[in-house]
Amino acid sequence: QTMKALARYMELMGHRLAADPKGLVALDDLKGVKNVALVFVSATVPAGGAQQGDLLDCTVSAMSAKSLAGGYLLLTDMRGPRPDDQTVYGLAKGPVSLDDAASPQTGRVTQGLQVETRFQNEFVRNGKLVLVMNKDHASFQNANYIADRINSQPDLGYKGARAIDQVKIEVIIPKLYEDNPAQFAGLLLDTRIARFQTDTKVIINERKKAVIVGADVEIGPVAVMHKNRLIQTGGAETTGEFVPFDMVGDGTKTKLASLVDALNALKVPAEDVIDIIKMLKHKQALFGELIVE
């Protein structure tokens, strides 16, 4: 399949190859070709859209190669995700760089995709615009809180905002701004919102050995043993080497960030910290959402 794709590409570039008695392209001339691979190429258009001529990054994933290091992406038509849509939205080409040497089959072409078809995000429909909350803060409580904050703004002076669900807030554009919805959108985004008390997510990237802990993530009373060190939470006595914790609430819960700080102070390897967090979740002693990437 790789040689067939290469032969087709060469034909499109004006290089005619020999044909067999059946009129099909003879692939014998390409048998000695090396360092050619079939790849998937994908790109994500920014939420704000893209204009013709804009340059975007694209991701390259190998189908038939062990490594893309030092590779070059030949000119590639970028189409939509639907097979029946033959529109060419962009053209991609350029040198492939690896984001992670441990995953050599996936690379990136920085600003290698030139947009050919304009992407425009129409943010106003039927005299309304819809605010979409960041998924990390999406909840019914937060959506209603934002709608109430918008309705209480004296500069807006009306009650035209309502929460549609836990993610979206619908806002009616006042007559004063009907001819300039972009200005109204700017006023909305300038509305001051207090910090949400729902930062209860823990994100683990096992490949990069990275852990991000939300500020409001708590853990229950547990004892963590690592080699000859014992760390206990929940007010119990501690033996062995330990690091004090910041207690919260009624004194029975500890911030997960404090436990991670303690483990780091004891020079516990990142792999072990990740395993400990997973065990806390398995034990139902982690009060938050665990996301493993």
pLDDT tens-place string over residues 122-135: 888 889 999 998 87
Tell me, yes or no, whether 227 and 282 share the same domain: yes
Instruction: List the domain range (segments joined by +) for residue 151.
Output: 124-189
d(CA 63, CA 66): 9
Final residue belonging to a domain, choices 64, 80, 115: 115
Tell me, yes or no, whether 180 and 235 share the same domain: no
Instruction: Give how many domains the chain has, as a whole number.
Output: 3
Tell me, yes or no, whether 24 and 105 share the same domain: yes
In a domain, 195, yes or no: no
Amino acid identity, position 133: M
pLDDT of 37: 78
206 vs 18, higher pLDDT: 206
The predicted model scores a pTM of: 0.50
Q: Are 200 and 288 in contact (CB under 8 A)?
A: yes
pLDDT in tens, 23-70: 666 556 556 566 777 889 999 998 888 999 999 999 999 887 889 999
Final residue belonging to a domain, choices 189, 215, 233: 189
Q: Which of 52, 45, 38, 32 is nearest to 6 (CA)?
A: 38
Strands 210-213 and 201-205: antiparallel
Tell me, yes or no, whether 216 and 282 share the same domain: yes
Cβ-count burial of 13 within 10 angstroms (0-12 exposed, 13-18 middle, 19+ buried)?
exposed
Average pLDDT of span 232-237: 60
- Average confidence score pLDDT of the chain: 82
Tell me, yes or no, whether 10 and 111 share the same domain: yes
Tell me, yes or no, whether 98 and 143 share the same domain: no
Average pLDDT of span 76-88: 89
pLDDT of 239: 42
d(CA 216, CA 199): 5
pLDDT bracket for residue 249 (50, 70, 90): very low
Backbone angles phi, psi at 36, to 5 degrees: -120, 135
Q: Are 113 and 56 in contact (CB under 8 A)?
A: yes
In a domain, 219, yes or no: yes
Tell me, yes or no, whether 84 and 102 share the same domain: yes
**DSSP tally for the chain: helices H, then strands E:** 5, 18
pLDDT bracket for residue 9 (50, 70, 90): low
Final residue belonging to a domain, choices 91, 115, 139: 115
Question: Could you give the angle at the alpha carbon of 52 between the alpha carbons of 50 and 55, nearest 5°?
Answer: 65
Q: Using alpha carbons, list the distances in angstroms from residue 251 to 57, 232, 234, 257, 261.
A: 48, 13, 7, 16, 18
Q: Tell whether the model's pLDDT for residue 159 goes beyond 80.
A: no
pLDDT bracket for residue 275 (50, 70, 90): very high
When mean pLDDT is compared across 68-77, 235-244, 259-268, the lowest value belongs to 235-244
pLDDT in tens, 108-119: 999 999 999 998
